[in-house]
């Protein structure tokens, strides 16, 4: 395993010197966004807005409430990303309510603003710094939380590609047998990683940025958190796709996770345009107007509503902090000793 790690590290460093990961990432993001714009124009230029409105009105209150419940459950699961990360970096002293606030608001803001590693990290630092976490500790929390997310994504992707390779083919246009092979390969790599951290404590980083990776059992818990989160999101989307023709949950979930990853690769806010284009292409069996209505409702429930709630929570927190600072200053001022008043008698200052 160490030999493989050294080889991968050398390959990454060589690529960074010759091409540069920043340049490659920017090019990839732009390519994905341009492709999504072209696809959306081709698929939606002749769409009837009246039919989209009719499809929106056709959703039952029951389906909307169930979808909203799955979204809420997904965001509750997101808070466990931070709780798990805080335990991993050795900061179990941070109150649960603080971890919940940081986890929810950082993801709600990051999902909508884009560049979630930066925006979500800034929100986390603003919250955790008031509870004694240094910038390095917050960076470690962000890393562990992000790693949990990607482990869950990899697991869902591997299971989806292996179980429903035809659904994956609707996204990547590769033959099903190749997608199934990729799915099993992802699961094998995950199994190797779990075995690697199970055998002995593993540490990454150097100097003042060192982190002990979660052990084997904890890694399984880490994967479980990510899988539950993504399953809840996929279930919310499944409640919002048309009922006919019938498509199984596993197929929709595989397409959903693949489309979500494409959205992350584009770095557009909330995967806007990219996620939607991928869903429209892969779920071609549905009427475009009905599917577009479901996608709009999903954006409302999963992105806009939590974003609005997060902004209110963060705003109220800033007001509360400001009020507490003012009260602290007033208390300090009141506690200071006051100079004695009155005029000095003449015989006390006149030498005569």
pLDDT in tens, 332-342: 666 666 665 54
What are the start-end ranges of the E strands in the chain? 203-206, 209-212
Rounded Cα distance, 194 and 197, in Å: 5
The answer to whether residue 38 scores a pLDDT higher than 80 is no
Q: Write the DSSP string, 140-183.
A: HHHHHHHHHHHHHHHHHHHHHHHH-HHHHHHHH---HHHHHHHH
User: Average pLDDT of 51-76?
Assistant: 91
Local confidence band at 34 (pLDDT 50, 70, 90 cut-offs): low
Most confident residue range from 147-151, 201-205, 272-276, 344-348: 147-151
Q: Write the DSSP string, 91-136.
A: -TTS-HHHHHHHHHHHHHHHHHHS-HHHHHHHHHHHHHGGGT--HH
Higher pLDDT among residues 138 and 14, named by residue: 138
The first and second tokens of residue 325, run together, are 């600072």
Local confidence band at 154 (pLDDT 50, 70, 90 cut-offs): very high
Q: What is the pTM of this model?
A: 0.80
Out of 58-62, 80-84, 112-116, which region has the weakest mean confidence (pLDDT)? 112-116
The answer to whether residue 267 scores a pLDDT higher than 70 is no
Rounded Cα distance, 346 and 352, in Å: 10
């Amino acid at each position: 395993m160490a030999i493989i790690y050294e080889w991968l590290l050398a390959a990454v460093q060589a690529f960074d010197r010759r091409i540069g990961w920043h340049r490659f990432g920017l090019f990839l993001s732009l390519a994905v966004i341009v492709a999504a714009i072209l696809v959306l124009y081709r698929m939606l230029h002749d769409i009837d807005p009246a039919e989209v409105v009719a499809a929106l009105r056709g959703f039952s209150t029951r389906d909307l409430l169930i979808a909203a419940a799955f979204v809420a459950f997904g965001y509750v699961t997101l808070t466990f990303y931070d709780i798990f990360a805080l335990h991993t970096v050795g900061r179990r002293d941070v109150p649960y309510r603080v971890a919940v606030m940081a986890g929810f608001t950082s993801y709600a803001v990051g999902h909508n603003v884009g560049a979630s590693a930066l925006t979500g990290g800034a929100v986390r630092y603003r919250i955790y710094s008031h509870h004694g976490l240094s910038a390095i500790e917050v960076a470690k929390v962000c890393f562990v939380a992000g790693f949990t997310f990607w482990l869950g994504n990899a697991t869902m992707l591997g299971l989806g590609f292996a179980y429903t390779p035809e659904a994956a083919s609707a996204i990547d246009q590769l033959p099903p047998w190749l997608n199934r092979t990729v799915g099993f390969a992802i699961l094998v790599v995950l199994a190797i990683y779990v075995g690697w951290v199970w055998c002995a404590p593993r540490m990454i980083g150097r100097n003042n940025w060192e982190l002990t990776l979660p052990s084997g059992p904890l890694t399984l818990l880490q994967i479980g958190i990510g899988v539950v989160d993504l399953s809840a999101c996929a279930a919310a989307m499944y409640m919002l796709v048309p009922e006919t023709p019938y498509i199984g949950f596993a197929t929709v979930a595989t397409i959903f996770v693949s489309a979500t990853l494409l959205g992350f690769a584009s770095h557009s806010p909330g995967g806007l345009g990219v996620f939607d284009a991928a869903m429209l292409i892969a779920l071609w069996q549905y009427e475009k107007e009905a599917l577009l209505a479901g996608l709009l409702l999903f954006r409302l429930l999963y992105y806009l509503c939590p974003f609005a709630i997060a902004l209110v929570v963060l705003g109220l927190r800033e007001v509360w902090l400001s009020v507490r600072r003012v009260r602290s200053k007033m208390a300090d001022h009141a506690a200071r000793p006051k100079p004695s008043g009155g005029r000095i008698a003449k015989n006390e200052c006149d030498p005569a």
